[in-house]
A and B are shown apart, each in its own frame.
Chain A
Amino acid sequence: MSFNIIGTGSAYPESSKTNDELSLRIATSDEWISTRTGIRSRHIITDGSLSDLAAEAAVRALKDSGTLAQDLDLIICATVRGDTLTPSLACLVQKKLAATCPAFDVNAACTGFIYALDVALGYFARNKAKRILVIAAEAMSKLVDWNDRSTCVLFGDGAGAVVLSQGDGLLSIKISASGDEDLLRIDSATGNCPFSEGSTVNPYLQMNGKEVYKFAVAAMCGDLAEVIQEAGLTQEDIDFVLPHQANLRIIETAKGKLGISAEKYRSNIEHFGNTSSASIPILLDELNRAGEFKKGQVLALTAFGGGLTTGACVIKWTNETKPKGNDQNDI
């Protein structure tokens, strides 16, 4: 017993900032950002909360799947940091949805969505759940250092969600971790304990971009090959690859090393930047709403991020094909 994805949803802040708008405030340029990353604009929370976005994405996924919030058996939220350390983001969403099931967060940075899918798989395997809501939501604009022009331009805010039901759609999944605090980190706030002898930390995202780039390419290539083989398929059988949207150049490089034809890789980083764990479910929802997926087609998802963590899975699309071009968020 694994699961099917029976509905998708996404939400992002109305405010979108172009590279040119960023270059008015920090020393950067559209040319520098777009040639190195493929990013042209990103959505940024200016007011409102991450839990509102997460709940909005969740409501859309519930509606798409025809599921009522009170029929959910579990809510799992992937996030690096929600509105509050406690309650968890999942609990805040549970309240907004008026759901009654257990709810908790998982943190595997940009790989969080795949980790959350793997957790959900365990509940289905134990027959503890019939319907699970998995959300990935990130407010990266609150975590990056806006004085570091090499990283702040890369990220954006947003939320994506899926509703899962018992089924056989998930064909294979893997997650991995290789602890490393040097390549990519965000330090926690230090608190105000009067007895503390530690020094204050820089509480913003720090990244060794070049080394993370190498790690990302290797992870994407290795993990995709592995989960496709584990699913009993060949690379030619894959209809869509939805990679974590960290940098278009990472995707281009990995593409060149794998045997999956180039047009199968999908990307929306141009308008979103890197939304961490939310990037894959936002892309998934965009394609689903546009009627891109046909029943029986096979999707490969792959992600990598802080931890360091990686994850990938192969999922057969089990829903009826949507009419093409109907990509309005009708809510």
Chain B
Amino acid sequence: MIFEKTAKILADYRDMDIAEITMETKFEDIGLDSLDMVDVVMMLEEEFDVEIEIQERIKTVSDLVSLIESLKK
């Protein structure tokens, strides 16, 4: 569920097909720079009602989804 919502937010933000986004997708590969990541994180915070601290080690969709999962617990 967290993956689906995250993928939808990313696809909408980049205006791309949601099917192109997988757990392995790197943010860099879909053209997101550090400030795009802040925008995306703000949308995810609203979606999941969590506070996400942006960290350098978050590089893939999978990294982000696990971080949100740990915050939701």
Contact = CB atoms under 8 A, between A and B. Distances in A.
A154 B44 CA distance: 27
Interface stretch (A8-16, A114-122, A131-139, A211-219): A211-219
A249 B54 CA distance: 17
A36 B37 CA distance: 12
A154 B1 CA distance: 39
Interface range on chain B: under 10, 10 to 19, 20 to 34, or 35 or more? 10 to 19
Nearest to A249: B35
B33 A36 contact: yes
A211 B54 contact: yes
B6 to A, nearest CB: 18
B42 A35 contact: no
Contacts of B41: 214
Contacts of A211: 53-54
Interface string B35-61: 101110110000000000110000000
Contacts of A36: 33-35
Given A217-B42, A253-B39, A210 B54 contact: yes
Contacts, number: 23
A209 B56 CA distance: 13
Contacts of B38: 210, 213-214
A132 to B, nearest CB: 38
Contacts of A249: 35, 39
A219 to B, nearest CB: 13
Nearest to B39: A253
B42 A214 contact: yes
Nearest to A150: B34
Residue of A35, A209, A214 contacting most chain B CB atoms (<10 Å): A214
Nearest to A35: B33
Given A217-B42, A253-B39, A210 B34 contact: yes
Contacts of A253: 39, 42
A35 B41 CA distance: 19
A247 B37 CA distance: 15
A218 to B, nearest CB: 8
Contacts of B42: 214, 217, 253
Nearest to A218: B42
Interface in A35-57: 35-36
A51 B35 CA distance: 35
Contacts of B53: 211
A224 to B, nearest CB: 17
Contacts of A210: 34-35, 37-38, 54
B25 to A, nearest CB: 20
A36 B70 CA distance: 30
Nearest to B33: A36
B36 to A, nearest CB: 9
A214 B53 CA distance: 10
6 contacts: A210-B37, A211-B54, A214-B38, A214-B41, A249-B39, A253-B42
